[in-house]
Structure 1
Amino acid sequence: MDVRDDATQAPGPATTATDDAPPAVSRRLRLITVIATFGGLLFGYDTGVINGALPYMTDDLGLTPVTEGMVTSSLLLGAALGAVTGGRLSDARGRRRTILALAVLFFVGALGCTLAPTTAVMVVARFVLGLAVGGASVTVPVYLAEVSPAERRGALVTRNELMIVSGQLLAFTSNAIIADVGGESGGVWRWMLVVATLPAVVLWFGMLVMPESPRWLASQSRFSDALEVLKQVRSQARAEAELSEVSALAVKEEQQKLGGWQDMKATPWVRKLMFVGFGIAIVQQITGVNTIMYYGTQILTDAGFTSDSALTANIANGVISVLATFVGIWLLGRVNRRPMLMTGQIGTTAALLLIGVFSLALPAGEGRAYAVLAMTVTFLAFQQGAISPVTWLMLSEIFPMRMRGFGMGVAAVVLWLTNFVIGLVFPSLVSGIGISNTFFLFVAAGVLSITFVKLFVPETKGRTLETLETELRARFS
């Protein structure tokens, strides 16, 4: 291995001081963030669009409760495979190349869903779309984390979460507009689905002119290339200091051959860290957030809204998600990750409890409908303002450099499989035990989640990725 002299120096102090970068450098960093997070926008749109499209699709394709669950959850199964595959690919081939490939998958999957003539084709196309969603859920946060300065990492990585919920809001809004214009005409759902091809094109062309992650380049011993990228997004002095720290760790990990399944099984601290990552992923999903995202319209219809009113009212869920994410980004610069995650868990659990109580205790009608809507909005405020931003941020931070994509990919597999199971069984649970008892199950899961976060989740705020890796190695060894 050819290692340059500057790469073998011992790591210097953690580079957490505010960067005095010139305006052009700050603009470049903002542009990189905007382009990369189009992957998050596609993630949000493609997971949220099914919410409004499903009722129309049910009529056209003759869906049953079982095939309805398959159409919804096939994307999630694809996302599980896409997460681990995307993570491995981004570690092997680079974050930028992987995002370019994902843009193509997003386009092909969205077009396949739009043109699907049968349920079977729709399930396959949604699976392909899921591969892209899963890959983006891993690769985009890792790319942003590795490009960002330590003091801005929380804000910049969670811009991806902002784009995810903005994509969901775009889906809810465009669904309502298209349904209003198209009315009950056959195939109106196809117009809802085809919109997703446009941001896929923007992502592909945008990433053609974006740089590779400097930390990935360093992990491949391409230290001069890493420095050139760092100088695009840091001041000259900051870039050189940060490269010294990054390259020293890259050499250490190369000597240990850290980077895959065997290392995870053979290295106790990495193995323990993987289980923490699994737990964070499960905690984010067993709140039941995606029952609101995928079945929100149906939940509101069951609560007492008409179909058209539910479709329009569901936009409120999208709006509050975007506003809450703005608040979450602001909070991440001011409070620690771990207490923020716990606060979100307490808030979502309380909201789910009240949804169940209102659905059970209030008579059918407008009163119950608006009470349930108020609680879904409250739920999403805590979920999107605290839990989701912290989840994706921490998963992009906690794994060692040489296996960051792989580690986050495996954790995301757990996340997406949990999502898949919930999305698949939710309609059957509601049909079998009722909406109230279904949400009471999520309440019980929420209590377990709060306990897990309190006992096992580490704090990650205020460290460079290299300093954090050293701390976690010591903690879990």
Structure 2
Amino acid sequence: MSSHETAAADNDRATAPGQLTGAAIIVALVSAVSGMLYGYDTGIISGALLQITKDFGIEESWKQVIAASILLGAVIGALTCSYLSEKRGRKGTLLMLAVVFVVGALWCAVAPNPFVLSLGRLVLGFAVGGATQTAPMYVAELAPPKYRGRLVLCFQIAIGVGIVIATIVGATEHIPWRWSIGAAAVPAAIMLVLLLRLPESPRWLVKNDRGDDARDVLERVRPSGYDVDGELAEMEELTRKEQTAKTRGWPGLREAWVRPALILGCGIAIFTQLSGIEMIIYYSPTILTDNGFSESVALEVSVALGVSYLVAQLVGLSIIDKVGRRRLTLIMIPGAAVSLFVLGTLFVTGNSGRDSVPFIIACLVVFMLFNAGGLQLMGWLTGSETYPLAVRPAGTAVQSAALWGTNLLITLTLLTLISGIGVGPAMWLYGLFNVAAWLFVYFRMPDLTGRSLEEIESKLSDGKFRPADFAR
């Protein structure tokens, strides 16, 4: 089957009759729960740190370790689960991760000291990193083409929902931090129960010579009247191409023609973190209280930032295909940079007192809107679009590790950096990172909007992966 025939077949199935099956809806729920756990488990530490600091009597170094331990676990989880999802299956890996989510949440809830708490956060991080690697892939391989985009979208939107819930819980100062962190075990248990009702990925079954099982799965998750035979034949053809490709797996990432995709994916992942998003999510209450703000005000600001993140993501995702990935990112980054430069100036000039509270909050919210609605959308999207089929699992694993690794570095050093140079200069530094991100996008990121995966791979193999090569 040629690429044109494949595209035509995809289009026919995208307009096939029928509604979503119950299994497909449960797939979307699993994606949503895993995304929400990612947002909640990473965001809950923002408000909880204020209580943890009092309970354990810790200083900045321990605060950074507690906040960052989940990120180290995420790096390990992303790399490990790339291997596990290929060897043990997508569903099997997600079942394991659901159990780890439950264990990690309960572990943190009963931790008697900061060391044990950090180890529990490390365990949670493994689940978070593994979920970001496995859940979107599982959903994409089970979802009907007509609904694939919307179902995969559940994961990204749910991250924002998890962050909002975490900030609201954190702002409710009457909820002890042990309860707020341990509560994540409930949705994780729900995720585990939902997964027990779901089948394995048909794509993984085909790759493991279980074509009959793959057919049974497709008949279960596709509506009546759907061309199951055609989709199964496509899976078998793509599997043959992947298994016979000269460039495949982890060794394939070293190929010169793949390198531009790897540079783009990892570069975007790194700049999503250097832009300052995690600094704001994790440490905004700590930064504000350390500079004279009351805890209640700091936590209310955290809620406003969480809501801004979710709203910006919803708006950005609704317009990204109309505006274009590259154009939207180039438009939004300057707004985030300017807000950080203004915020830094307020602190450097001593205008960070009570009279300046509205301006500081406005800068934080504006930053969140421009950052979450632009650059943050690209962090996970580029991995699903840029890598050739035969190296896609390895490429997305490296990209996830780059994202979480940068996040880890920032989280481990931010409070120390602020103690050394001050809040204002730190904000300026992250503003400069946004300038660098804009330059990177301008010179390295082509606009992949509306391009098929086959067309993107063809451009890559022809050595035409610069922005000018994709100009319409």
Tell me: higher relative CO, structure 1 or 2? Use CA pairs within 8 A at least 6 residues apart: 1
Length-normalised TM-score, structure 1: 0.89
| Compared CA separation, residues 303 and 447, structure 1 to 2 (3 A) | same
Q: Which residue of 1 aligns with 2:62?
A: 67
What's the CA shift for 1:471? 4.2
Counting only pairs closer than 5 Å after superposition, residues 267-346 of structure 1 correspond to structure 2 as: 267-302=255-290, 304-346=292-334
Tell me the SS of whatever aligns to 2:155: helix
* TM-aligned CA deviation for residue 314 of structure 1: 1.4
Moved more, 221-230 or 139-148: 221-230
Secondary structure class of the residue paired with 1:461? coil
AA partner of residue 205 (structure 2): L
8 Å CA contact retained: 2:31, 2:152: no
Query: 2: distance between equivalents of 1:463 and 1:218?
Result: 26
Is 1:356 paired with 2:344? yes
Bigger drift between 282-291 and 456-465 goes to 456-465
Change (3 A) 1:327 1:207: same
Is residue 252 of structure 1 aligned with residue 247 of structure 2?
Answer: no
Shift in Å at residue 363 of structure 1? 2.5
Q: 1:127 aligns with which of 113, 122, 131?
A: 122
Aligned to 2:439: 451
Task: Provide the rounded CA distance (Å) in 1 between the counterparts of 2:455 and 2:33.
Answer: 30
Instruction: Tell me how far 1:59 sits from its aligned partner.
Output: 1.6
C-alpha contact 1:359 1:368 (8 A) present in aligned 2: no
Query: Displacement of 1:64 after TM fit?
Result: 1.4
Unaligned runs of at least 5 residues, structure 1: 1-8, 183-187
Q: Given that residues 330 and 442 in structure 2 are in contact (C-alpha distance below 8 angstroms), is that contact kept between their aligned partners in structure 1?
A: yes
Maintained 8 Å contact 1:154/1:393: no
Give the deviation of 1:220 after TM superposition: 3.2
After TM superposition, give the deviation of residue 114 of structure 1 in Å: 0.7
Q: Please state if 1:90 is matched with 2:82.
A: no
Whether the 8 Å contact between 1:106 and 1:197 is mirrored in structure 2 is: yes
1:219 Cα deviation after fit: 3.3
Residue 87 of structure 1: CA displacement? Answer: 1.5
Cα deviation, 1:321-345, whole Å, max 9, x if unaligned, reads 1212221221134332222232332
Q: Is the 8 A contact 1:20 1:235 kept in 2?
A: no
- Cα distance, 1:317 vs structure 2: 0.8
Q: CA deviation at 1:247?
A: 2.8
Shift of 1:457: 2.1
The answer to whether structure 1 residue 434 and structure 2 residue 434 are counterparts is no
Structure 1 stretch displaced more, 330-339 or 192-201: 330-339
Task: Using the TM superposition, give the Cα deviation of residue 421 of structure 1 relative to its aligned residue in structure 2, in angstroms.
Answer: 0.6
1:146 aligns with 2:141: yes
Superposition CA RMSD, Å: 2.5
Shift of 1:84: 0.8
1:204 corresponds to which residue? 192
Query: What code does the residue aligned with 2:102 have?
Result: F
Q: Which amino acid aligns with 2:72?
A: L
Letter of the 1:189 partner, please give it: W
Q: Which amino acid aligns with 2:32?
A: T
Cα distance 1:475–1:219, how it changes in 2: closer, same or farther (>3 A)? farther
Structure 1 window deviating more from structure 2 (403-412 vs 119-128): it is: 403-412
**Which residue of 1 is the match for residue 251 of structure 2?**
262
Say which is worse superposed, 9-18 or 451-460, in terms of deviation. 9-18
Tell me the secondary structure at the aligned position of residue 334 of structure 1: helix
Using the alignment, how far apart are the partners of 2:462 and 2:145 within structure 1?
20
Measured at CA, do residues 241 and 130 of structure 1 come closer, stay the same or move farther in structure 2, by a change above 3 Å? same
* Post-superposition offset of 1:274: 2.0
* Shift in CA distance, 370/150, structure 1 to aligned 2, threshold 3 Å: farther
Q: Secondary structure at the match of 1:172?
A: helix
The one of 3, 6, 9 equivalent to 1:13 is: 6
In structure 1, the partner of 2:470 is none
Residues 154-185 of structure 1 deviation map (CA, whole Å, 9 limit, x = unaligned): 443332121111111111111222x2x35xxx
Q: CA deviation at 1:31?
A: 3.3
Deviates more, 1:363-372 or 1:272-281: 363-372
Rate the CA distance shift 1:439–1:381 in 2: closer, same or farther, 3 A: same
Q: Which amino acid aligns with 1:116?
A: A
Shift of 1:47: 0.4
Deviation at 1:237, TM superposition (A): 4.9
Which amino acid letter does the alignment assign opposite residue 50 of structure 1? Answer: I
Partner of 1:41: 36
Residue 13 of structure 1 aligns to a residue in which SS?
Answer: helix
Q: Residue by residue, what CA displacement relative to the aligned partner does 1:221-277 show, whole Å, maximum 9, x if unpaired? A: 444444444452467455444444443222111012654322222x33233322222
SS of residue in 2 equivalent to 1:24: coil
Structure-to-structure mapping, 1:360-371, within 5 angstroms: 360-361=348-349, 363-371=351-359
In structure 2, stretches of 5+ residues that fail to align are: 466-472
Q: How many aligned residue pairs are there?
A: 461
What is the percentage of aligned positions where both structures have the same residue? 36
Corresponding position of 2:161: 166
Q: Is the alpha carbon distance of 1:156 and 1:432 closer, same or farther for their aligned partners in structure 2, counting shifts above 3 Å?
A: same
State the one-letter code of the partner of 1:193: I
> SS at the partner of 2:448?
coil
Give the equivalent residue in structure 2 for 1:185: none
Whether the 8 Å contact between 1:82 and 1:135 is mirrored in structure 2 is yes
Partner of 2:20: helix, strand, or coil? helix
Q: Is 2:249–2:393's contact at 8 Å kept on the other side of the alignment?
A: no
Q: Which amino acid aligns with 1:472?
A: L
- Where do residues 230-249 of structure 1 align in structure 2 (5 Å cutoff)? 230-231=218-219, 232-233=221-222, 236-237=225-226, 239-249=228-238
